[in-house]
Chains A and B, each alone.
Chain A
Amino acid sequence: MTSFTPVSASLGGALIGLSAVLLMVFNGRIAGIAGIAGGVLRPAAGDTAWRIAFMAGLVVGVLIWRGFAPSPVVLHFDVSWLHLVLGGVLVGFGSRLGNGCTSGHGVCGLARLSPRSIAATFVFVAVAVATVFVTRHLLGQGS
């Protein structure tokens, strides 16, 4: 159970937006994590370093925040290892098949009103809500 944090949520969202704008202004790229990570698995000449740098930046950003944050940065996992592996495989496979995830479709795609991204975002949010309802309310998993 988590509490509603509209201010930090909006500030964090604005930082994500700045990240997406920066990557487009200078590099002409969509800040879609699934696409950026997936591209490393099919390396093309001169197209890998920036992808690795972006992903390293994700980790560095969290480490920087850890150094300044007023409260500790904590992650709560409440599912089994099997659950984790299954979820990871589905997220990796699905985001590549569907050409994007919450950042590529959700943030960048919605910002440019792409019909494909609007459809994908609607589907993955609806399916994720249904999945949480089934696993946590009907099957009683998690806490």
Chain B
Amino acid sequence: MATLVALISGILFGLGLAVSAMIDPAKVIGFLDVAGAWDPSLAFVLAAAVGVTAVGYALLKKRDKPVLESKFRIPSRRDIDAPLLIGAAVFGVGWGLVGLCPGPAIAGLAVGLRESVVFAAAMVAGMALYRFTPFGK
């Protein structure tokens, strides 16, 4: 049942990325290129997503556990450390180079371009590489 919910949740997420055209690297670069022909669409995607999620999460505060599992798995750390900032910066370079982050990289595979496959494979390699660092243990 939890697997089915994950599938439906993934479908909604993929639909959201497709409807907003965020699976297109050009659309993301258009947002990041503030010195070019700036396209603010991504900010609207993020604002709407954060708004809906914030309301949903707030309504959940009354529950002590999710419907199908024994507990909520929400990160509890609040400290801002070096791996967080360095990781975010490294991620930002890759995101800016191509215009793809993990969601659109996977969802975009649906379109069947070789570029998508190469990027997704490289991304998985990068994730695997992380496990060989002292932080990935």
**Neighbouring B residues of A75 by C-beta, 8 Å:** 23-26, 108, 111, 113, 115-116
Q: Given A90-B91, A135-B96: A53 and B14 within 8 A (CB)?
A: no
* Of B15, B85, B92, B108, the contact of A128 (CB 8 Å cutoff): B92
Distance A4 CA – B98 CA, assembled complex (angstroms): 20
Q: Given A30-B74, A37-B106, A142-B29: A91 and B3 within 8 A (CB)?
A: no
**Neighbouring B residues of A105 by C-beta, 8 Å:** 88
**Neighbouring A residues of B14 by C-beta, 8 Å:** 57-62, 64-65
User: What total of A-B pairs shows CB separation below 8 Å?
Assistant: 492
Distance A11 CA – B22 CA, assembled complex (angstroms): 12
From residue 17 to 38 of chain B, which have CB atoms closer than 8 A to chain A? 17-27, 29-30, 32-37
Distance A50 CA – B9 CA, assembled complex (angstroms): 10
| Interface residues, chain B, with chain A CB atoms under 8 Å away | 2-27, 29-30, 32-37, 39-42, 44-57, 60, 65-69, 71-75, 77-80, 83-98, 100-103, 105-111, 113, 115-116, 118-131, 133, 135-136
25 inter-chain pairs at a CB distance below 8 angstroms, sorted by A residue, are A1-B30, A3-B39, A6-B44, A13-B50, A19-B12, A22-B12, A27-B66, A34-B127, A50-B3, A50-B6, A57-B9, A66-B110, A69-B18, A78-B26, A88-B123, A90-B94, A91-B95, A91-B98, A94-B88, A98-B90, A101-B101, A107-B49, A112-B54, A133-B34, A135-B96
